């Protein structure tokens, strides 16, 4: 398949089935052969792998996933695209198309049914309107997932791998760092899609960690502290936490904990590393 043939396939399918890509579902179809190949390489998928694809669209990525893996489960929310996918990809005996919302999909059940409970790999050109909830959902699920190879907006990719002190650093950066080793593998221009999105994109590879890089008494509480610390970016961490009314995070307890960590009471959330958030959360935990 060269670029022209993916481009040609896309236009032919759009015409044949009168597909009108909808903004509501974040539909931008990937038509660049080099990027498709780059995604497959970055994902590291082999003929042994079960792949979960989120939002197959009209199947441009789906077909190359089917060719390079053992089995693909593709979850597509738009019911109008289901007959298009079923007909245009009927040659692939290793594909299951599921009409549903990925945020409501039971991935553990899928893994048990299709992979004997062994971890699957997620590969997707994500719908941009719900990128963060999808990534957070996949990282925090108890379902076994080995890696995520996902196309996201460049701005989200930057936030995913940002470091303390940067404007892009926040709760997403800390969650990604806690659950995975992340790498920006490819930058992708708007011209690689039909229709062209307004923003640039990037392919991210997230290798899910077997063990987090820091220890904390209560993971959920640490992330509640992190979210509260970034809720009001222009406020100090003390004020952010006080306003979030988290148990134990009073106007007295937070400065006292910061003092024990040798930090100023006027410090802001974006200045703390993951390790420091873990120590702070452990001191505040009742
Ligand atoms: N994979 C195709 C490609 O690369 O050309 C299409 C990618 S397009 C950016 C995102 C796809 O996700 C669309 O097909 C859209 O309908 C689908 N989608 C949007 N929200 C979804 C959701 N909550 N669950 C599953 N699929 C969703």
Residue 4 has pLDDT above 60, yes or no: no
Tell me the per-residue pLDDT of 235-271, one tens digit each, with 9 for 90 and over: 899 999 988 989 999 989 999 999 999 999 999 999 9
* Residue 42 to residue 44: CA distance in whole angstroms: 5
CB of 59 within 6 A of ligand 1: the answer is: no
pLDDT band at 45 (very low <50, low <70, confident <90, very high): very high
Which pLDDT score, from 0 to 100, does residue 36 have? 98
Give the DSSP letter of residue 213: S
Instruction: Dump pLDDT digits (tens) for 89-143.
Output: 999 999 999 999 999 999 999 999 999 999 999 999 999 999 999 999 999 999 9
* Residue 30 near ligand 1, beta carbon < 6 Å: yes
> Identical fold at 3-208 and 219-284?
no
CB neighbours of residue 176 within 10 Å: 21
Substitution candidate for ligand 1 out of 35, 63, 127 with most atoms within 8 A of CB: 127
Is any ligand 1 atom within 6 A of the Cβ of residue 13? Answer: no
pLDDT tens digits along 177-200: 999 999 999 999 999 999 999 999
Nearest-atom number in ligand 1 for the CA of 193 is: 5
Mind listing the pLDDT tens digit for each residue in 49-93?
Answer: 999 999 999 999 999 999 999 999 999 999 999 999 999 999 999
Ligand 1, closest atom to CA 31? 5
Total residues found in the chain within this entry: 286
Average of pLDDT values for 156-175? Answer: 96
| Half-sphere exposure in the Cβ direction for 229 (13 Å, CA) | 31
Evaluate: CB of 254 within 6 angstroms of ligand 1. Answer: no
Position 233 scores a pLDDT of 73
Which of 3.40.50.150, 3.40.50.720, 1.20.120.1200, 1.10.3720.10 would CATH assign to domain 3-208? 3.40.50.150
For residue 1, the model assigns a pLDDT of 43
Token pair recorded at residue 271? 């200045």
Q: Where are the domains of the chain?
A: 3-208, 219-284
pLDDT at 35: 97
In short, whether 28's Cβ falls inside 6 Å of ligand 1 is: yes
When pLDDT is cut at 50, 70 and 90, the band that residue 3 belongs to is: very low
Residue scoring higher pLDDT (233 or 140): 140
**For 194-218, what is each residue's pLDDT tens digit?**
999 999 999 999 999 999 999 999 9
Gap from CA of 162 to ligand 1 centroid (Å): 26
Pairing of strands 71-76, 95-99: parallel
Which are the contacts of 110, defined by CB distance < 8 A and separation ≥ 6? 52, 73, 120, 143
User: Is the minimum distance from the CB of 187 to ligand 1 under 6 angstroms?
Assistant: no
- The CATH superfamily of 219-284 is rRNA adenine dimethylase, C-terminal domain (1.10.8.100)
* Rounded CA separation 152/174 (Å): 17
pLDDT at site 186:
97
């Amino acid at each position: 398949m060269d670029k022209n043939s993916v481009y040609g396939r896309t236009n032919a399918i759009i015409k044949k089935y009168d597909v009108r890509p909808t903004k509501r579902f974040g539909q931008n179809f990937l038509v660049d052969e080099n990027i498709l190949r780059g995604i497959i390489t970055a994902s590291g998928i082999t003929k042994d792998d079960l792949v979960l694809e989120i939002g197959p669209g009209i199947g441009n990525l789906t077909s190359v996933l089917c060719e390079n893996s053992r089995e693909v489960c593709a979850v597509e929310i738009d019911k109008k695209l289901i007959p298009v996918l079923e007909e245009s990809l009927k040659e692939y005996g290793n594909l299951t198309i599921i009409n549903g919302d990925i945020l409501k999909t039971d991935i553990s059940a899928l893994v048990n049914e299709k992979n004997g409970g062994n971890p699957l790999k997620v590969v997707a050109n994500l719908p941009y309107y719900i990128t963060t909830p999808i990534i957070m959902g996949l990282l925090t699920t108890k379902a076994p997932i080995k890696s995520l190879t996902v196309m996201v907006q460049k701005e989200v990719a930057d936030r995913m791998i940002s470091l303390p002190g940067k404007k892009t650093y926040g709760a997403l950066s800390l969650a990604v760092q806690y659950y995975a080793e992340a790498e920006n593998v490819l930058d992708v221009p708007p011209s690689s899609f039909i229709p062209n999105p307004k923003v640039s994109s990037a392919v991210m590879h997230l290798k899910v960690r077997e063990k987090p890089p820091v220890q904390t008494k209560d993971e959920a509480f640490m992330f509640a502290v992190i979210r509260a610390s970034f809720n009001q970016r222009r406020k100090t961490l003390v004020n952010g936490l006080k306003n979030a009314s988290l148990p134990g995070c009073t106007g007295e307890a937070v400065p006292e904990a910061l003092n024990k960590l040798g930090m100023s009471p006027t410090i802001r959330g974006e200045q703390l590393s993951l390790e420091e958030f873990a120590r702070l959360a452990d001191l505040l935990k009742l």
